[in-house]
Structure 1
Amino acid sequence: MQQAIPATPEAERGDLQAIVKNYDIRGLVGDTITVPAVRALGAATVDQLDLAGNELVIGHDMRDSSPGFAEAFAEGALVRGANPQLIGLCSTDMSYFASGVRNAAAAMFTASHNPASYNGIKISAPGAKGISLDTGLAAIRDRALTYLADGIPAVAEPGLQARLDVLGEYAAYLRELVDLRGIRPLKVVVDAGNGMGGLTVPAVLGTAAGLAALPLEIIPMYFELDGTFPNHEANPLDPKNLVDLQARVLAEGADIGLAFDGDADRCFVVDEQGQPVSPSAVSTMVAIREIARARAAGDAEVHIIHNLLTSRHFAETVRSLDAEPVRTRVGHSLIKAEMARTNAIFGGEHSAHYYFRDFWGADNGMLAAMHVLAQLGATDLPISELAAQHTPYFASGEINSTVADIPAAYERLYTAFSSETDVDELDGLTFTHGGRDWWWANIRPSNTEPLLRLNVEAATPELMASVRDRALEIIRA
């Protein structure tokens, strides 16, 4: 029988108030996130999601602290009566797969693209449903705080623990969704950044899981699982972390390059000329394929999700295919919820998160990469030309500014732009100027730092630069 867990000394409790974020849990290992804190979070998750007697999938990435944290979470869950199913090393989308296919709650230990000194937890309700601060994370935090202070009592019927291997099942499922067998041969350089792509790419795109070979020559970079990230940070959103991949694509004469982040749920694309492909262009390519697939399956009404920072071209393309684009705020759990509400078949974010109805509404960078490979392999065009078709406008990219008084900056922006634009406050402030010389600018605050994030897109590069510079001058005044 599982024994109750005593109260934790204050010095070992970490800082749950700091590490529980809007959409996940993340902190500094041994400082703000500790083994006792994780154990308490495991117990609290069982209580909040009513998991006593039910499965709880627990997976982890390659960080040194991850296996110990996964075991601690399972200990807390067992005491409160859940049945932990330990799937071991996995990508975040593998944990979503296990949660979806088993209709079980899941906890994934990862800090995604953050440095080695960090770790965290992404918690899903059964069916890979997202949980945010407003829909359960805050309650889990508060229960865990009580357990740290008072101890974790054991239930009358403690849970049972088991170990599962889902990698082969996961790889086979993705191959069912995107058939790559008939494409032309492609040479593909993949930078896993010493993250979990080093496990999933050989299984899904290669033969490591016992599946048949595909017409892909995979050239691996940094496939060794190493949570110290000895080559570069596993954050492809930062251009400096794409430099090695860009050089290797050119050196190999490859058709395409793919870069995964640390937990391999995001994928970035580099063309044959070594140039990054915008996630909005990738989203558009995937949306076109998913709309066609939905139409072939008989879907009469098709909805596609995009956050307010994706290119205007994305929504234009969706409408041109008689599907309905649905604009949302930025945020993982928010988009998952909107996917469910609208029964959307696909959702794309500017940050290279790609969501699929056929993947329980969860995001899956590998699945997006497979769609791009399928599109590229079905044509003789290079990926640069395919991307150019879906990058007709000009974007600033995200520009951060440290701002001490965010409300005052908002007031200055509103005064400067509101008379010439439409304004909405769906997520921060968005100013939209219509007509032939159209542009839009979004300014939104960081959830964790005193930063304002600026994104601008316009019909011409000159107009984009003008709006960008004007907005930055006002923000930083």
Structure 2
Amino acid sequence: MFPIPQPALSPNTYAYESLPLVKPTGFREYDARWLFEKEINLMGVQALGMGLGTLIRRSGVAPSIVTGHDFRSYSGSIKTALVSGLLAAGCTVHDIGLAITPMAYFAQFDLDVPCVAMVTASHNDNGWTGVKMGMARPLTFGPDEMTRLKEIVLAADFDLSSGGSYRFVENFPQRYIADLTNRAPLTRKLKVVCACGNGTAGAFAPTILEKIGCEVVPLDTALDFTFPRYNPNPEDLEMLHAIRDAVLENGADVGLGFDGDGDRCGVVDDKGEEIFADKIGVMLARDISARHPNAKFVVDVKSTGLFSTDPVLIANGAKTEYWKTGHSYMKRRTHELGALVGFEKSGHFFFNTPFGRGYDDGLVSALAVCDMLDRNPGKRLSELRDALPKTWSSPTMSPHCADETKYGVVDAVVKHFLDAQAKGVPAAGQSIRDVVTVNGVRVTVEDGTWGLVRASSNKPELVVVVESPVSEARMHDMFKAVDAVLRMHPEVGAYNQTI
């Protein structure tokens, strides 16, 4: 009988080395994320593996699973503990070694394996670990699967079996690289800054871009799990500004920045302007819908309103649905609707056939940007950006809020704006035109200015985004209005960045 996991244990004690530590809040909406050694220990990771294997078997899915790990000092040991749990639950484990997350998703198709468990904390700070899981390619777990997994693990309700086996897949990155680069090269010579923040993508992204014909300017591509310059997160201004500087210094056509596990891509244009991922999504949607009339897209609630108002998309017959933020939610909805692409403001893009296999891959997104430029040989990326209707958008801003309280705060903010709308109380100086509550609350006023508040799915934070089609001042008005509501709750702390 495996011991019941404990929600808290003191380090450097007999209990810590004898019992599994698994803090319940680590089971999030669609990922599992913990501070390693503080919220989960290796025995706790082993319990997670046994629980995942048990869930797979109880779901009637073949117990065969791909696993890999990102480049952090502790990820290898965490994967080993996870594998030991999966083996105890009778799973056949296909280990692809050091990898970016989309490489693990690709392996599900390439190796014909139904399940995946990728050990990564993505862009989270050092000290965090986690696992991205799925058992129905190209989908990853949502709230239902995470709830069932949590219940199994915390109760130590495992179905153990002696039938497990381990297989290491040699040289798997070469298969992934070949899959992405087995295509016609670019006809236009592009100089590309490839920024990886010393994360795992640095081992693969420069090679892939060179193989399609780009002249690559590497930026922080050497793997270093201390992340000496900044966290590899292409939503953070620190990384975007570093890409900007490299683009301007080298006269590059575009800067492409990849997050810690390679499933997201950030873009900086030839003038050094950071183009937030939702605006890049509009540009790609224009390009795709011109060749695929009446195309269907899915975008998350953090994204620009241009997806529904852009005259080019309207003329091309494009149809867009706004959906819940989160890579699992977006992946699933894009799959359900048969949409060509799902675009998320964080930089997760989900390309379906004929562009991809439905999962998020930062390299596939990067290639799509390069191909868009290749199809517009007389135009710079900045010109394609300038052709969009002007809006003023904030980056994603995240005030601290504990996991235990963040959902309650968001519920209160939702109620505040619904009550305001019902009573005719204005927001940001104007009457409320629309309130969308599919994921937190997105409140839009009469001039089209809007603000979003939702709970982060993978960190103890809230998420705030504002945009105005009118002016920068109106964008700031909406931020002040939203922040004023948040400041009514003392549980909400400081922002990671603001406008």
Contact 1:402 1:451 in 2 (8 A): yes
Match of 1:372 in 2: 369
Kindly provide the CA deviation profile for residues 404-453 of structure 1, in whole angstroms up to 9, marking residues without a partner as x: 8555544444454552222232222222334xx33223233345547462
- CA distance 1:465–1:65, shift in 2 (3 Å): same
- CA distance 1:443–1:230, shift in 2 (3 Å): closer
Match of 2:303 in 1: 310
Shift of residue 173, structure 1, vs aligned partner = 2.4
Match of 2:343 in 1: 348
Shift of residue 474, structure 1, vs aligned partner = 3.9
> How far apart are the structure 2 equivalents of 1:138 and 1:156?
26
- CA distance 1:267–1:180, shift in 2 (3 Å): farther
Match of 1:463 in 2: 474
Give the partner amino acid of 1:55: S
Shift of residue 123, structure 1, vs aligned partner = 0.6
Which residue among 77, 98, 102 is the counterpart of 1:93? 102
Moved more, 218-227 or 260-269: 218-227
> How far apart are the structure 1 equivalents of 2:399 and 2:71?
33
> How far apart are the structure 2 equivalents of 1:248 and 1:286?
24
Give the partner amino acid of 1:329: K
- CA distance 1:182–1:234, shift in 2 (3 Å): closer
> How far apart are the structure 2 equivalents of 1:347 and 1:376?
20
Kindly provide the CA deviation profile for residues 80-102 of structure 1, in whole angstroms up to 9, marking residues without a partner as x: 21110000011111111112332
- CA distance 1:430–1:107, shift in 2 (3 Å): same
Contact 2:29 2:142 in 1 (8 A): yes
Contact 1:192 1:223 in 2 (8 A): yes
- CA distance 1:28–1:438, shift in 2 (3 Å): closer
- CA distance 1:280–1:6, shift in 2 (3 Å): closer
Q: Which runs of 5+ in 1 are unaligned?
A: 207-212, 296-300
Kindly provide the CA deviation profile for residues 162-188 of structure 1, in whole angstroms up to 9, marking residues without a partner as x: 324332222232235xx5613311111
Contact 1:180 1:370 in 2 (8 A): no
Q: 2:165 is paired with a residue of what secondary structure?
A: coil
Which residue among 355, 361, 383 is the counterpart of 2:381? 383
Q: 1:390 is paired with a residue of what secondary structure?
A: coil
> How far apart are the structure 2 equivalents of 1:362 and 1:180?
22
Shift of residue 390, structure 1, vs aligned partner = 2.8
- CA distance 1:86–1:314, shift in 2 (3 Å): same
Which residue among 259, 262, 267 is the counterpart of 2:260? 262
CA RMSD of aligned residues (A): 2.6
Contact 1:442 1:456 in 2 (8 A): no
Shift of residue 146, structure 1, vs aligned partner = 3.5
**Identity rate of aligned residues, in percent?**
27
Shift of residue 241, structure 1, vs aligned partner = 2.3
Contact 1:396 1:457 in 2 (8 A): no
Q: Any runs of at least 4 consecutive aligned residues in structure 1 with deviations exceeding 6 A, and if so which?
A: 4-9
> How far apart are the structure 1 equivalents of 2:415 and 2:4?
48
Q: 2:34 is paired with a residue of what secondary structure?
A: strand
- CA distance 1:391–1:65, shift in 2 (3 Å): farther
1:324 aligns with 2:328: no
Match of 2:39 in 1: 32
Contact 1:397 1:456 in 2 (8 A): no
Shift of residue 286, structure 1, vs aligned partner = 2.3
Contact 2:199 2:224 in 1 (8 A): yes
> How far apart are the structure 1 equivalents of 2:194 and 2:455?
33
> How far apart are the structure 2 equivalents of 1:218 and 1:74?
37
Give the partner amino acid of 1:327: Y
Shift of residue 345, structure 1, vs aligned partner = 1.3
> How far apart are the structure 2 equivalents of 1:75 and 1:29?
18
Shift of residue 228, structure 1, vs aligned partner = 1.4
Match of 1:123 in 2: 133
Q: 2:453 is paired with a residue of what secondary structure?
A: strand
Which residue among 58, 70, 74 is the counterpart of 2:67? 58
Match of 1:214 in 2: 212
Give the partner amino acid of 2:96: I
Shift of residue 263, structure 1, vs aligned partner = 0.6
- CA distance 1:402–1:126, shift in 2 (3 Å): closer
Shift of residue 401, structure 1, vs aligned partner = 4.8
Q: How does 1:70-469 map to 2 (within 5 A)?
A: 70-101=79-110, 102-134=112-144, 136-147=145-156, 154-176=160-182, 179=183, 181-206=185-210, 213-292=211-290, 294=292, 302-317=295-310, 318-358=313-353, 359-378=356-375, 379-390=377-388, 392-401=390-399, 406-418=410-422, 419=424, 420=431, 421-434=433-446, 437-447=447-457, 449=460, 451=462, 453-469=464-480
Shift of residue 140, structure 1, vs aligned partner = 1.7
- CA distance 1:76–1:254, shift in 2 (3 Å): same
Q: How does 1:466-477 map to 2 (within 5 A)?
A: 466-477=477-488
Contact 1:440 1:458 in 2 (8 A): no
Give the partner amino acid of 2:324: R
Match of 1:44 in 2: 51
Kindly provide the CA deviation profile for residues 351-374 of structure 1, in whole angstroms up to 9, marking residues without a partner as x: 111011133321111111111111
Contact 1:423 1:429 in 2 (8 A): yes
Contact 1:110 1:263 in 2 (8 A): yes
Shift of residue 277, structure 1, vs aligned partner = 1.0
Give the partner amino acid of 1:223: T
- CA distance 1:142–1:411, shift in 2 (3 Å): closer
Give the partner amino acid of 2:222: E
> How far apart are the structure 1 equivalents of 2:4 and 2:482?
51
Match of 1:210 in 2: none
> How far apart are the structure 2 equivalents of 1:117 and 1:26?
10
> How far apart are the structure 2 equivalents of 1:401 and 1:160?
43
Kindly provide the CA deviation profile for residues 205-258 of structure 1, in whole angstroms up to 9, marking residues without a partner as x: 23xxxxxx4331111112122211122211221112233222221111111111
> How far apart are the structure 2 equivalents of 1:344 and 1:452?
26
Question: TM-score, normalization: structure 1?
Answer: 0.87
Shift of residue 275, structure 1, vs aligned partner = 1.6
Shift of residue 287, structure 1, vs aligned partner = 2.2
> How far apart are the structure 1 equivalents of 2:147 and 2:321?
28
Q: Which runs of 5+ in 2 are unaligned?
A: 6-13, 425-430, 489-499
- CA distance 1:118–1:467, shift in 2 (3 Å): closer
Match of 1:209 in 2: none
| Corresponding pairs, count | 455
